[in-house]
Structure 1
């Protein structure tokens, strides 16, 4: 692949362990996997505000209690925030209205996640949803294969609402390795008919415990064939967990990325990644 560029765009104080983001009209919406808030950062005036997603939210929820919000997607004026499903208290999906800036609905996906685990032959201890896409007709949920079985799986759910009857497809992927450690899905976004995804190599065999970070990749999947077009290593040090489309111009496409620093430090760096359009 031709040369890419990766640069730090800015740093936000007040957000820790960033795990997902969505860019819209100079506003950057960010979730952290140890927080009960949705953060809204105005990139023009550099103001940060927060919106409660759960009752009695805090910024640093203990690991054994956190809802583990790992992914978010949007359709029309609604943001959908997903818990990872990696433990029994991480099964929430929150619907948030971008116009009124209020929570519309709180859903428990425990039954859906159980069906996905059974259908995809993924043990509960290897189940870890870290990316989500909704195009209005289909949901794409990305299981991060950082458990023992390395199950990097995209679940395609044909339904307009996750409460409706649905058809389910599971597609497994072998993602590239770093130093013998296979990378695993950490986020994804749909741009036209292509899925762009992040994967990170982390030296751990657990969806719960963190390990040594070995680097991250950007990749692309064709939506029609669900086959990988390319992967490109973009760092040897960062654990990128959030990806959102920024802009497309002059034969290049730009994304904003955030990283999970696996600490209690309340600061988040936002990166800009530029790729040539192929």
Structure 2
């Protein structure tokens, strides 16, 4: 497996990119300290009008302060309540303020207004915390949707003990979030062993399903705090065995490849999310990754992944 950066593009006026999805000709990107969902042309990356998720008086500097931000880290495509395509945006859950999310109903017409609905994640996150290993702080960094399951990816920086995927039945979970049923569906978990850099374990950072293949990213930070940032040592890309293992009792070692520059040197940035732009050939994909430099800057990476 090899993942090589083909092109890097700065994303001006788009702070702290944390999630990306490609739907048709549009790329949707969220930032963890921004009140907007950004809409870009998936081919030219020309910026369209952003979608306002919530009103805030704390974005005057171009970034919501860390102690106030909703920390929207995860985004995935889900079926809408009336059959339309929707995006589900999720806060990380690392603090009480980060237990909120949004439904965004999309339209086929890029000029038509999207519909945005807030969603409380407190009940769901309480169930997820109960399924965590002792001493691990909930910190969701990615989400992906299969035909039957919602997959939520826990990132535990500085420790290999909490790199896991929460598996929930898709439609019952969406019904719970839409207040159509009262009980959180059964939560299943699977632990993974991720690669290391300089002895520091990677943590999940992004995920997406494309044509029944589950792509994931992971990055390495020199920190053990779910809220505080640390020095970034590099990032990994790969494919998670699909469907996700059921009821495996032991951690599964996940082979990922370190992201490299065109000259073969390791890329030292922090990849936050992944989407697939198109298939290059058999076992070869062009990925769209987004990165966050922890100072408000965001970059898009076009990557050639050969599996």
**TM-score above 0.5, yes or no:** yes
Pair 219,131 (structure 1): closer, same or farther in 2 beyond 3 Å: same
Deviation at 1:109, TM superposition (A): 0.7
Q: Which residue of the partner structure matches residue 112 of structure 1?
A: 124
Deviation at 1:10, TM superposition (A): 2.6
Q: Which residue of the partner structure matches residue 271 of structure 2?
A: 240
Pair 39,214 (structure 1): closer, same or farther in 2 beyond 3 Å: same
| In the alignment, structure 1 residue 86 sits paired with structure 2 residue 118 | no
Find the aligned partners of 1:188 and 1:181 in 2 and give their Cα distance.
21
Deviation at 1:148, TM superposition (A): 5.2
For residues 40-82 of structure 1, the C-alpha deviation after alignment (integer angstroms, 9 at most, x for no partner) is 1124472332111112373410000000000100034101111
Q: TM-score, normalised to structure 1's length?
A: 0.91
Contact 2:160–2:201 (Cα < 8 Å) also in 1: no
Deviation at 1:122, TM superposition (A): 5.1
Q: TM-score, normalised to structure 2's length?
A: 0.82
Report the aligned-residue RMSD.
Answer: 2.0
The correspondence of residues 43-192 of structure 1 with structure 2, limited to 5 A, is 43-44=43-44, 46-56=46-56, 58=59, 59-76=62-79, 77-99=85-107, 100-121=112-133, 123=135, 126-146=137-157, 150-160=161-171, 161-162=173-174, 163=176, 164=181, 165=183, 166-192=185-211
Pair 115,130 (structure 1): closer, same or farther in 2 beyond 3 Å: same
Provide structure 1 residue ranges, at least 5 long, that are not aligned to the other structure.
none
Pair 83,191 (structure 1): closer, same or farther in 2 beyond 3 Å: same
Deviation at 1:98, TM superposition (A): 1.3
Find the aligned partners of 1:187 and 1:120 in 2 and give their Cα distance.
19
Pair 26,228 (structure 1): closer, same or farther in 2 beyond 3 Å: farther
Find the aligned partners of 2:45 and 2:158 in 1 and give their Cα distance.
41
For residues 83-126 of structure 1, the C-alpha deviation after alignment (integer angstroms, 9 at most, x for no partner) is 00011000112000111543342111111111111122354x62
- Comparing 217-226 with 91-100, greater Cα deviation is found at 217-226
Q: Which residue of the partner structure matches residue 217 of structure 1?
A: 236
* Paired residue secondary structure (2:256): strand
| Greater percentage in strand | 1
Find the aligned partners of 2:20 and 2:300 in 1 and give their Cα distance.
10
Deviation at 1:28, TM superposition (A): 1.3
Contact 2:194–2:202 (Cα < 8 Å) also in 1: yes
For residues 177-233 of structure 1, the C-alpha deviation after alignment (integer angstroms, 9 at most, x for no partner) is 100000000011112333211111100010100011110011211223535663101
Find the aligned partners of 1:130 and 1:232 in 2 and give their Cα distance.
19
